[in-house]
Each structure stands twice: as structure tokens, then as C-alpha cells.
Amino acid sequence: MQSHISKTACKSNLMKLRRVVVTGLGAITPIGNCVSQFWENLLKGVSGACPITLFDASKFKTRFACEVKDFDPESILEYKELRKYDRYSQFALYSAKEAIQDSKLDLENLDCDRAGVIFSTGIGGIGSYEHDMVEYLQNVEVPRFTPFFITRMIANIASGHISMQYNFRGPNFGVVSACATSTHAVGLAFDQIRLGRADVMITGGAEAPITVSGIGGFNAMRALSTKNDEYATASRPLSGSRDGFVLGEGAGCLILEEYEHAVKRGAKIYAEVAGVAASADAYHMTATHPDGLGATLVMKNALRDADLSVDDIDYINIHGTSTPVGDPSEIKAIKQVFGEHAWNLNISSSKSMTGHLMGATGAVESIVSILSVQNDVVPPTINHQDGDEDPEIDYSLNFTFNKAQKRVVRAAMSNTFGFGGQNASIIFKKFCP
């Protein structure tokens, strides 16, 4: 028995991991309702912030957010079906539809037992929960709940809806790690394929937190910017006058595919997934570790998983939420991990344009990183003004302020950090057959 165990363990250790590539992208964001529009506005440095229209925010400390504009849920669902889906699930289905179409997967001949979905959210159906509880409290003598209350609200339901839409019967679940959620989702989908458990995965994240309780709750935490008179420039990562993040909504979706499977069908390949990692700060419920210990660990482990050196990375899409504590600690971590190469990097925060998309952040910023690798251009960090500096931040680094920069991007790293001290980092590199 002992000999058998040893041989099995040896065989397992020698198992070759499969290559994983990106063959489809989908997005709905505050600055674009498809990937091409989103990317165009990113490079232009367009702000997605606007006064809140989804509810009356006139009495709130924060009266603006980064809303999705001109969203038509009937483009994906019949009107009579809409009441069954929270706004976050609608965003998920919308982005998945674009990604599937973009991938040109032959769904009629695809082995759906080998195709799965890992699609996540940080908060879930907070809007549905809020709506139904208000109705209950207004009619407490005759308690009434819609039969869709639970299924609209739960955090795994978007993944289920997508699998049902496309008949994907492989691994299917959601994960929750606050703002790191969808990076963890993409990383887990990556693992399913490279470990041989699936050939194709739909993955990403969606969030619709711009609600009374969403704005009110984050206001109570003093997490949101209150620059109501400067809402278009309120999300200003790395600037000295930053005072909190701007809440956003939307979804990002990636189609991951095993390399040989993609090549065999002649798929368009955007980039290769190189490596992923997770860590914990083990420090505070909401604040990142001031010395960036968890961030340092997760970036080092992502590089190790990708079998890349620091010199191989050209761009980092930072978490960069525009909070007083979070931004400096991430920059400290980058300097710690990358050493002298930190000054050769382009660094930027797309949250300066999209706001903070919470559980959708990692997927949307993975798309940013992938398109940077494919197109050799880095989108900017907008809203920074000369002289608006933080003594805790080293401005000799290239933060790609206010204007996109062209450069060869061999590999890009995307960082996401969530409440609870949960960190995730993923690396995409140029595809080479």
C-alpha cells in the first residue's frame, strides 16, 4: 500500500498543466455597453461618473456614482421574464452573450459536459432584497414575498442562469470575496481547464450595488467620495486629494479555453492566462495592510505560478480605488516586489474612469489587461492634477497619468483586493503558439 501511494503521488507531481487562452470577451460598464466601446472610452480617458438616477439620492452624503447608461434588459430577456432576474444577473447574462458571440464557439457541436461557468458577485441581488423588504415592511399585517425573492438575491444564481442559457453542464458555481471576487472566479476557471476538468469556461463577475442600502451603507463606512460638486473627477486614484471610491456597476465576462481546443477550431486568441494567486492580509475588516504585506505576497505568488520574473511584466492594472489607505500600500507592495524594475513599469487604475465595480472589478480589469497585452497600449489614470500629491506615494513611478501610453506589453498583471483582507492577482501574457 505504501509503495502504491508513493507512485501515485509521484505521477501527480509530474502531471503537466494544460495551457489556457482567452478566446472571447464581453463587458457592460459605466463607460461602454460592449467591449469595443469600453476600450475606446478607456483610451480616451472618459469618466463614467454621473448624478445618481436609479433612486432619489438627494439626502445622501454621496449623490453620484458610475452607473451603466442606456441599458436595455429586453435585449437579453423577454419583458415577462425580467422580474425573475436581479439587475446584477441581467448584467451577467448581457456580458456573457457578447463574450460567447465574440468567441464564435460552435455551441451545437461543443461537448457541453466539458464546458462550465464560474461567474461571481460580491454582494448579489441587493436591489431585489431591498425592494422586497420595503414591500414587506409596508404590508406587515399580510406578509407577501415574490416566489423569486431568494433566487433573485443569491450570489450564485448568475452562474446558474448562464449555464442554463448555454447548456454548459461542467463545473458551475460562484465565489464571494468582496472586491476580489471575479479575479478569484477567473483564477478558478483557469484552474479547471489547466487541471483537465474542463475545456471551456465562461467566467467573470457582475455587480449592481447602486441602491439606497448600497450607497447608504458605504457612506456610513466613510468609504465613498463625497465630492458631489466635482463628481466627474472624484475618482482620483493616487492623488493627494482623494477621499474615497466612487461606486460603480456592470459586468465583465471572459471565455477561457484549453489551448489545443482553441487551435483546433481556429479560434481568435486574445492572450494566454499565465498565472494566478490569492492571499490574505490577516489585518483588518476593510483596510489594506499599511505595509502591503498581503499585496506583496499575492504578486510574488502570481509571478511564481506564471513562471515569470519581475522583468517580464510591463503593465500593472492596480486595484487603485482612490482611498486614502489603500493606494499607498499597494504602491509600497509594487516597489517591494519589483525592485528596480518598478520604474520600467506602466501602472494605472481604470477605476478612475469606471469607478469601483465591486465584484465585477476583477473581470472588467482582466479585460483591460488583456486588451493592453493585445494592443500594446496602456490606458491612463485620469483626474490627476499637477501638485496634487500624497507624500506617501512615490511619483517617480510611471502612473500613466491622464493620457494613454503606447508601449510593448508582453505581460500584464491585474490586482484586486477585497474587504476581509482577501487579495487576488492574475497575469496575462502575449500568446505565442
The verdict on residue 164 lying in a domain is yes
* Burial (CB count <10 Å: 0-12, 13-18, 19+), residue 165: middle
**HSE-up of residue 364 (Cα within 13 Å, Cβ side):** 36
CATH code: domain of residue 372: 3.40.47.10
Handedness of CA 85, 56, 123, 138 (dihedral sign): negative
Q: Give pLDDT, residue 2.
A: 46
- The domain of 56 spans 21-429
DSSP string, 88-105: HHHHHHHHHHHHHHHHT-
End-to-end CA distance of the chain: 42
Q: CB-side exposure of 93: number of CA atoms within 13 Å?
A: 26
| Contact status, residue 390 vs residue 416, Cβ threshold 8 Å | no
Is there a domain that residue 16 lies in?
A: no
CB contact set of 228 (below 8 Å; sequence gap of 6+): 62, 63, 64
Strand partners, 339: none
- The identity of residue 364, as a single letter, is V
Residue 118 has what pLDDT?
98
Question: Where does 16-156 have alpha helices with state H?
Answer: 35-44, 87-103, 126-138, 149-153
**Which residue in 66, 179, 289, 384 is the catalytic one?**
179
Q: Quick check: is 261 catalytic?
A: no
CB 417 within 8 A of CB 294: yes
* Assigned domain for 117 exists: yes
Residues 251-269 as b or e (16 or more Cβ within 10 Å = b): bbbbbbbbbebbeeeebeb
List the catalytic residue out of 161, 184, 261, 356.
356
Q: Is 319 an annotated catalytic residue?
A: yes
* CA separation, residue 328 to residues 53, 55, 226, 390, 419 (Å): 33, 34, 20, 8, 17
Asked whether 208 and 85 are in contact (CB, 8 A), the reply is no
Structural domain includes residue 334 = yes
- Catalytic-residue membership of 131: no
pLDDT tens for the chain, 433 residues: list them. 444 444 444 444 457 899 999 999 999 999 999 999 999 999 999 999 999 999 999 999 999 999 999 999 999 999 989 989 999 999 999 999 999 999 999 999 999 999 999 999 999 999 998 998 888 888 878 888 888 999 999 999 999 999 999 999 999 999 999 999 999 999 999 999 999 999 999 999 999 999 999 999 999 999 999 999 999 999 999 999 999 999 999 999 999 999 999 999 999 999 999 999 999 988 888 778 777 888 999 999 999 999 999 999 999 999 999 999 889 999 999 999 999 999 999 999 999 999 999 999 999 999 999 999 999 999 999 999 999 999 999 999 999 999 999 999 999 999 999 988 899 999 999 999 8
What pTM was estimated for this model as a whole? 0.94
Retrieve residue 82's grid coordinates.
Answer: 425580467
Residue 5 lies in a domain: no
- How far is 159 from 182, CA to CA, in rounded Å? 12
Q: Where are the beta strands (DSSP E) in 244-400?
A: 250-258, 271-280, 315-317, 346-348, 377-378
Question: Does residue 12 fall inside a structural domain?
Answer: no
| Rounded Cα–Cα distance for residues 388 and 407 (Å) | 26
Q: Which of 161, 289, 319, 384 is the catalytic position?
A: 319
137 is a domain residue: yes
Q: Could you tell me the sign of the dihedral formed by the alpha carbons of 209, 211, 217, 221, in that order?
A: positive
Whether 2 maps to a domain, the answer reads: no
Count of domains forming the chain: 1
User: What is the pLDDT at residue 14?
Assistant: 54
